[in-house]
Amino acid sequence: MFNEKIPAHFVQYAADILGDTSSGLSGSEIVFATGAYAVEYDVNIPHPSYPFEAPNKRTALYENLRAFSGPQQYRIIKELCDHRSFSVVPSKDRKELKVRLVTRYAHLAPEGTTSEINETLIEETRHWLDCCPEALALYNGALEKYEHGVFHRNLLDDLRLALEKLLCAVFANDKSLENQIRFVGAYIRHRDGSAELANMFVKLVDYYAKYHNSYVKHDDSVIEEEIEFIFEITSSFMKHLIRLGVED
């Protein structure tokens, strides 16, 4: 796997977005960022200083990225999507780049740098949640706590509240999660979902709410081995509900 590289056409696609003339990284930021990775990985890059000998910054970024191994490219592109110089709210192009990266090349993720949660599901869910900023902020907060291995009760509270806020947005009300359950089945059936899926969804959300009421009141009640599952099922709930609304 170490010898496998991300295909040149995808690296070019990433460089075009991350080095975009008006909304991308500056030339000096590209050199500084890729230079830091070059030092860390002991890699020689063709453009180690600025100004560089390249026709434009997109080319400089592309050629620097090509100097790294596949796992290194994966990490660098993923982290550059969230570079501190960018707005906290990611652009549509950078979101799509990150989703495509983790969907196609997650097998190149360096060991020890990814969480146990399905990374493709996480990025797709964040992409779909763009329509509901309040839910997205809570979801991102839960993800950050998970990645740092702290505040288990709080991160589950964040997930529950993120789902609740999404349902409030979908159903245009301000009801609690428990009081939204009766709307879920009708929402799915109205959008040509099967009766079986609608009934299953209702049962799952009902048990989901009961689970949180039983186990999330105190940190010592949280079963750590179950957090990954709760994170992924919450993500699947939200992703499917939003897609139904978009396709309606």
The predicted pLDDT at position 133 comes to 92
The predicted pLDDT at position 149 comes to 64
Residue-wise pLDDT for 123-142, tens only, equals 889 888 988 999 999 998 88
Predicted confidence (pLDDT) at residue 220 exceeds the cutoff of 60: no
Instruction: Look at 53-67, 81-95, 102-116 and tell me which has the smallest mean pLDDT.
Output: 102-116
More confident of the two residues 1 and 6: 6
Q: Closest by alpha carbon to 234, among 183, 190, 192, 177?
A: 177
Report the C-alpha gap between 79 and 113 in whole angstroms: 11
**Dihedral class, residue 44 (left if φ above 0, else alpha if ψ from -120 to 50, else beta):** beta
The predicted pLDDT at position 75 comes to 92
Q: Using pLDDT thresholds of 50, 70 and 90, give the confidence band for residue 165.
A: very high
Report the C-alpha gap between 38 and 60 in whole angstroms: 14
| Token duo for residue 125 | 């869910």
Residues 126-149: b if buried by 16+ CB within 10 A, e if exposed? bbbbeebeebbbbbbbbbebbeee
Q: Closest by alpha carbon to 201, among 163, 175, 228?
A: 163
Helices (H), the chain: 8-18, 27-41, 57-65, 70-80, 92-105, 119-128, 133-148, 152-171, 181-190, 195-215, 227-247
The DSSP secondary structure of 69-85, one letter per residue, reads -HHHHHHHHHHHTT-TT
Q: What is the pTM of this model?
A: 0.62
Q: How far apart are the first and last CA of the chain?
A: 42
Write the CB contacts of 115 (distance below 8 Å, at least 6 apart in sequence).
146, 147
Report whether 81 contacts 89 (CB < 8 A).
Answer: no
Long-range contacts at 128-133 (CB < 8 A, ≥ 24 apart): 128/238, 128/239, 128/242, 128/243, 128/246, 129/162, 129/166, 129/238, 129/242, 130/95, 131/169, 131/242, 132/165, 132/166, 132/169, 132/242, 133/89
Report the C-alpha gap between 166 and 98 in whole angstroms: 23
Report the C-alpha gap between 98 and 80 in whole angstroms: 10
Task: Please count the other Cβ atoms lying within 10 Å of the Cβ belonging to residue 223.
Answer: 11
Q: What is the mean pLDDT of residues 65-86?
A: 92
